[in-house]
A = this chain, B = another copy of it.
Amino acid sequence: MLYSKLFGKTSKNITIDADSINAKLLSQAGFIQKQMSGVYNYLPLGLRVLKKIQQIIRQEMDAIGGQEILMPALSQEESWITTKRHHMDVLFHLQSQAGNSLVLNPTHEEVITPLVKKYTLSYKDLPVLLYQIQDKFRDEPRAKSGLLRGREFNMKDLYSFHQNVKDLDSFYQTVQKAYFKIFSRLDLSQTVLTFASGGSFSQYSHEFQTISSTGEDTIYYCSKCKIAVNKEIISQQSSCPQCGHSKLEPKKSIEIANIFKLGDKFSSAFDFFYQDKQGQKHPIIMGCYGIGPSRIMGAIAETSHDKNGLIWPASVAPYQVHLIGIDLFDTDTKKQTNDLYQKLLDANIEVLYDDRPQVSAGAKFTDADLIGLPLRLLVSQKSLKQGGAELKYRHSSQINILPFQEILAKIK
């Protein structure tokens, strides 16, 4: 991609709307643009990151047998009356011309439970493991943390339907492992399994909290077990729920995912049973498993940056290489830089090429730091004299000059 053509260039001025580090950096670097409180536009760079996060999550959900579907944003209010959740204060309510009372879904138990019921009759149809990657809506009175707390935000929500609690428990563990694979691929390894309150069916639910000095949440961490409890739990018990005796240490954090055992709460509300081998009716046992791609994008920005800008992990960087052309007024330099760009493209490497002729080297470096791609290549009259291009990783200050061929071999 030619940076001269890219929509959404860097701007030091787009800070007025920035209510958090992630909103500030992502807006300045041209990844997102605020529409209103808690609602964002994704510009080309930001959408590339969001899609890569979604794709990593999709792969890990497929790997544990999840099947992808897509449910609507709208549902009938009557489904929420059925589950007695129509008074939830984050629900956006609408009225249609035809006189229907509608809801903008903040979660999808009210949609998926009757949907799965239509296709599930006997134990042979179970388990059902369905997920979607879809936009949700919450009427947050104070959305003020950039992508961390949205009124419209992207979610992966998986729902599982089982014959019994044992099957649910086993799948619940499977999802936990898949989530940690996802966090590892996203370089969010400072993410901690956190015990949260479980509702009527289960003693605990679990959150996945990324430790971050700028986090809005506080978790209480057991350094022995490497798990934590959230605020609700610490008010009931001050010791680790796993080892029982460790002292728990408070840490600031960002919640990026959560999982719940729902039991038969929703299946019972929708009169959803299955027949076993003997033809006997049993309630369906459900679990739900959320993870927020847009929130993860915000969490990466919060936890992976320095004073100059963003530092993207290679797995979700919008492009892998930031190619910076200097001295492009010189015909030979321009030709050689264009050639390197073409060679990188031919090798299927994602490149953002700063080809702007009238921008200073210093301004280009500042932009590259702000945008935060993993690898920077700089071609100038000087670098060419020295035999090639300057190569520098975003997270390091070391610069090497290498011939083009060596660079290509290294990147591949």
Contacts and interface: CB of A to CB of B under 8 A. Distances in A.
Interface string A112-133: 0001101100000000101000
A97 B106 CA distance: 15
A346 interface: no
Name the residue among A72, A116, A128, A151 with the largest chain B CB count within 10 angstroms: A72
Given A41-B111, A96-B139, A141-B97, A118 B73 contact: no
A33 interface: yes
Contact of A40 (B72, B76, B93, B118): B72
Contacts of A68: 44, 47
B94 A92 contact: yes
Interface in A78-130: 89, 92-94, 96-98, 100, 102, 104, 111, 115-116, 118-119, 128, 130
Interface stretch (A4-12, A170-178, A336-344, A404-412): A4-12
A143 to B, nearest CB: 9
Interface residues on A, range: 35 or more
A74 B35 contact: yes
Interface in A163-219: none
A223 interface: no
Interface string A127-157: 0101000010101011000000001100000
A67 interface: yes
A56 interface: no
Nearest to A30: B119
A70 B50 contact: yes
Interface of A: 5-9, 14, 33, 35-37, 39-44, 47, 50, 65, 67-76, 89, 92-94, 96-98, 100, 102, 104, 111, 115-116, 118-119, 128, 130, 135, 137, 139, 141-142, 151-152
23 contacts: A5-B67, A6-B67, A7-B69, A7-B116, A7-B130, A8-B69, A14-B118, A33-B118, A35-B72, A35-B115, A36-B74, A41-B69, A41-B70, A42-B70, A44-B68, A47-B70, A72-B152, A73-B137, A92-B94, A92-B96, A92-B102, A96-B139, A97-B141
Given A5-B67, A73-B135, 18 more contacts: A7-B69, A7-B119, A7-B128, A33-B115, A35-B72, A36-B100, A39-B72, A39-B75, A40-B72, A41-B71, A44-B68, A44-B69, A47-B70, A50-B70, A73-B152, A94-B104, A98-B141, A98-B142
